[in-house]
């Protein structure tokens, strides 16, 4: 259970949904979100009103103005989140953010910072330059410029432009781009400001705020050095500077995106205290075991041994287990602590398991979820619900939101539930989608809806209740 009086700040909070999710699962903590876009803040404040959250506030503000005039009522913070803004703000604004961090992060406080990183983003920069340049020159709408920009890039690729031979993964990146969400692409590729960073550059920019790199928030990235060949590890470890070592690791792993944690004054615990706390951590299974255990570690793919991972997933599928309990079971008893911790970390990176948030306030989060399900079933674009059990958001599809909304209305037979779910969909002028294609035949729609309802009730509903998403 989280400690009382801990305060969390998100700079560049957007429409606030991520912060609201965390406020719902940690009601004993206080949350504050700041964004310069008034429409984002208006949405966030309305969301707070509708969901009844009492431990979160949102304010419209400009970072450059805030660095010199930080309102006393905002206070100081133990955790600060900066997600999806660092690569899209200019150096003067980044400097303003660093000054804010210097003022508001308490000693020992932690800052989460994500950004597009080098060297992995270099091919993306070429694609972005074509798309962004054409967008500015064409004076067409963002979406139309994107489509026509794709055609330009496709022509270059089919004409065997040398750049596609020099960078062989450029073709695959272009193919993935064409299939990506267009609203995401407008932000990622057409935004006027876009910066790429080496990890040591970000570390240097945060030094004036007395913030030091402690770890990657992408759990598997903390094992990057260990999965590299031994001669590579030995070579990198020759260099004493931590930033330079991370720089070399990113070169070997072709790092594309970093989520880093920084601390204001590194706090260490004794090995005994650390081990004691680690042994108490409990884990719960979210998904059924996969067919293969393949994990993404930076730009590398690592395979896990089935003879180790399968019994671990089987054990966690039986119920919650602490690290101490798992170490009493074969084969984990024989392997010892480090391999087990690594395996659990890799499974968490795939959202197959979660750490438990013991002592949570389930009613507070479930009240939030009930209102979100209603909004989502009416067309709102929310695709996560709060899990007090594990202290994070659980992905839920649009159709699952509609199914939950009709189930919440009360007991009924399968035929009636299918009718109500289809009516909800039709009110939004939407069709039921199967295998990427809309169903237009009423009989096929009803049959497939009944399949979705049955599958949800028999499988997903049980898991959502185990995670305390639903009562």
Number of other CB atoms surrounding residue 41 within 10 Å: 21
Closest CA to 127 of 158, 92, 167, 90: 167
- Tokens standing for residue 297: 């570690």
**Which long-range contacts (C-beta less than 8 Å, at least 24 apart) are formed by 448-455?**
449/418, 449/421, 449/422, 450/414, 450/415, 450/418, 452/399, 452/403, 452/421, 453/403, 453/414, 453/417, 453/418, 453/421, 454/414
The confidence score (pLDDT) of residue 300 equals 87
φ, ψ for residue 8, nearest 5 deg: -125, 135
- Express each pLDDT in 382-417 by its tens digit: 999 999 999 999 999 999 999 999 999 887 899 999
Q: What is the pTM of this model?
A: 0.93
pLDDT under 70: residue ranges of the chain: 1-4, 359
Specify the length of the chain in residues. 471
Matching residue, tokens 């905002």? 74
| pLDDT tens per residue, range 58-103 | 999 999 999 999 999 999 999 999 999 999 999 999 999 999 999 9
Distance (Å, whole) CA 394 – CA 187: 25
pLDDT at 4: 58
Percentage of the chain lying above the pLDDT 70 cut: 99
> Nearest CA to 18 among 97, 113, 83?
83
Cα–Cα distance between 218 and 202 in angstroms, integer?
16
The four Cα atoms 320, 357, 285, 217 give a dihedral, to 10 degrees, of -140
The pLDDT score that the predictor gives to residue 267 is: 86
């Amino acid at each position: 259970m989280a400690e009382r009086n801990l305060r969390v700040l998100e700079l560049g909070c957007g429409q606030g949904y991520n912060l609201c999710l965390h406020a719902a699962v940690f009601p004993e903590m206080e949350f504050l979100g700041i964004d310069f876009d008034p429409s984002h803040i208006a949405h966030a404040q309305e969301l707070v009103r509708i969901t009844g959250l009492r431990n979160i506030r949102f304010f419209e503000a400009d970072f450059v103005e805030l660095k010199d005039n930080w309102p006393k009522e905002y206070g100081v913070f133990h955790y600060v989140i900066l997600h999806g803004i660092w690569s899209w703000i200019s150096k003067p604004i980044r400097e303003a953010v660093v000054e804010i961090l210097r003022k508001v992060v308490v000693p020992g406080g932690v800052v989460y910072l994500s950004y597009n990183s080098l060297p992995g983003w270099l091919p993306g920069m070429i694609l972005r330059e074509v798309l962004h340049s054409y967008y500015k020159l064409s004076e067409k709408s963002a979406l139309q410029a994107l489509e026509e920009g794709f055609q330009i890039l496709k022509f270059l690729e089919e004409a065997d432009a040398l750049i596609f031979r020099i960078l062989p993964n450029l073709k695959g990146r272009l193919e993935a781009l064409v299939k990506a969400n267009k609203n995401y692409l407008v932000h990622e590729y057409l935004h006027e400001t876009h910066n790429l960073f080496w990890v040591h550059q970000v570390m240097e920019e945060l030094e004036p705020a007395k913030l030091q790199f402690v770890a990657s928030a992408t759990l598997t990235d903390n094992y990057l050095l260990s999965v590299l060949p031994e001669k590579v590890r030995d070579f990198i470890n020759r260099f004493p500077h931590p930033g330079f070592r991370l720089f070399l690791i990113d070169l070997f792993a072709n790092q594309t995106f970093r989520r880093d944690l920084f601390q204001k004054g590194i706090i260490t615990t004794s090995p005994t205290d650390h081990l004691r706390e680690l042994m108490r951590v409990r884990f719960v299974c979210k998904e059924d075991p996969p067919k293969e255990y393949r994990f993404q570690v930076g730009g590398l793919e690592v395979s896990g041994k089935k003879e180790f991972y399968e019994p671990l997933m089987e054990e966690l599928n039986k119920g919650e287990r602490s690290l101490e309990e798992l170490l009493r079971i074969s084969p984990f008893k024989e392997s010892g602590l480090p391999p087990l911790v690594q395996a659990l970390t890799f499974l968490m990176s795939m959202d197959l398991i979660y750490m438990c948030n013991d002592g949570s306030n389930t009613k507070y989060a479930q009240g939030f979820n009930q209102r979100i399900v209603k909004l989502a079933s009416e067309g709102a674009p929310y695709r996560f619900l709060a899990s007090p059990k594990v202290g994070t958001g659980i992905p839920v599809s649009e159709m699952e939101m509609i199914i939950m909304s009709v189930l919440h209305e009360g007991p009924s037979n399968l035929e009636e539930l299918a009718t109500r779910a289809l009516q909800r969909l039709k009110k939004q002028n939407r069709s039921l989608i199967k295998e990427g294609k809309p169903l237009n035949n009423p009989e096929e729609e009803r049959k497939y809806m009944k399949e979705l309802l049955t599958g949800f009730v028999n499988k997903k509903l049980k898991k959502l209740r185990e995670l305390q998403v639903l009562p």
